[in-house]
Chains A and B, each alone.
Chain A
Amino acid sequence: MAQIIYDKKRCKGCHYCVDACPKKIITVSGELNDKGYEVVEFDEAQCIGCGSCYTICPDYAITIIKED
């Protein structure tokens, strides 16, 4: 179980997280944030809490809390 906290307003739409996710549960959403960047969406139920998306995100937009 992992909780994903996604701060859309910080996202700049690089989509590094989409490539980095080993479970491929992050997808480009088609939605634009206030700055006009295309943000992503998460299938949280399938998240394993590995933190890869956090690690590769250059904009501190993602926080993962993994409960063991």
Chain B
Amino acid sequence: MATKEFKAPEMLRTGDPTGFCPGCGHGTVGRLGFEVLDEMGLLEKSISVYDVACDSLYMWAIDTDCVGTAHGRAIATAAGVKRVRKDCPVWAYVGDGASYSIGFQHTVWSAVRNENITVVIINNGVFGMTGGQMAPTTLIGQKTTSSPAGRRADVNGYPMDITKILTGQDIAYLARGSIDTVANINKTKKYIRKAFEKQMNNEGFSLVEVLAPCPTNWGLSPHDSLERIRNEVMEVFPIGEYIERGVK
């Protein structure tokens, strides 16, 4: 009798529970990456790079080789790892706060150099670990602890959209997923799989941004946080595949 199992990679199931808040999107997005690596037979060989932010909590949740680096420097660090470990799948698993502000030059320039790494960026619109300050992706009008009256375009500019910034850049892959529904989670997993496949084919830089909830800092219940992604965030940040070398 055939069976089908829906089961997280053993390391995640058997390790300590993650340190993420209830309803945090990190638990799901990181799992997708590890599931993909596991299904590709690459989990043991993989090297994950985190920075100083909520993403770093995976350092202790997954029993594979990991590198922790300074806030905003995970992508540059991952590029350095990959340059000397070409046979290992290397990914930077990071947040939007760091990757689109303090470390933005590394995000763009790793793409320009077409570094053969995979980058997964959580877009939850806030700096999570420091308590919910405005991020480059904070929506206009969104209240955060550093935009208490709501983000203002005349003061803070408009939300930063990585798909617009990297449009036309000759990289291997660029997509944006969401984890607001089971269907979108499955779609996001396909994007992350493609990203790793392209790295293993030595096609160069692949980036998947994922819209994810931060219920704690949004001041919403987990349920309402997913609603917000559907009703507000996806309006500004449409999901889909944006760049795929040889296809689009």
Which residues of A line the B interface, CB within 8 A?
Answer: 7, 9-10, 12-16, 19-20, 37, 49, 51-52, 54-60, 62-68
Contacts and interface: CB of A to CB of B under 8 A. Distances in A.
Contact of B28 (A13, A56, A68): A56
7 contacts: A14-B22, A15-B222, A16-B223, A55-B185, A60-B12, A66-B3, A68-B1
B109 to A, nearest CB: 32
B6 A63 contact: yes
Given A13-B22, A67-B1, A58 B27 contact: yes
B2 interface: yes
B128 interface: no
A58 B4 contact: no
A12 B213 CA distance: 15
Contact of B222 (A9, A16, A60, A67): A16
Nearest to B61: A60
B182 interface: yes
B234 to A, nearest CB: 17
B240 interface: no
Nearest to B28: A58
Interface in B1-53: 1-8, 12-13, 17-18, 20-28, 31
A56 B5 CA distance: 15
Contacts of B2: 67-68
A66 B1 CA distance: 10
A20 B181 CA distance: 7
Contacts, number: 87
Given A14-B222, A56-B182, A56-B185, A51 B17 contact: no
Contact of B3 (A12, A60, A68): A68
Nearest to A4: B6
B18 A59 contact: yes
Given A60-B8, A63-B6, 4 more contacts: A12-B21, A15-B222, A49-B6, A51-B6
B6 A64 contact: yes
B186 interface: yes
A63 B8 contact: yes
Give the one of A14, A16, A58, A63 with max B CB within 10 A: A58
B23 A58 contact: yes
Contacts of A13: 22
A64 to B, nearest CB: 4
Contact of A64 (B1, B5, B12, B18): B5
Given A58-B28, A63-B7, A37 B223 contact: no
A59 B27 contact: yes
Contact of A54 (B1, B6, B223): B6
A6 to B, nearest CB: 12
Contact of A60 (B1, B4, B23, B31): B31
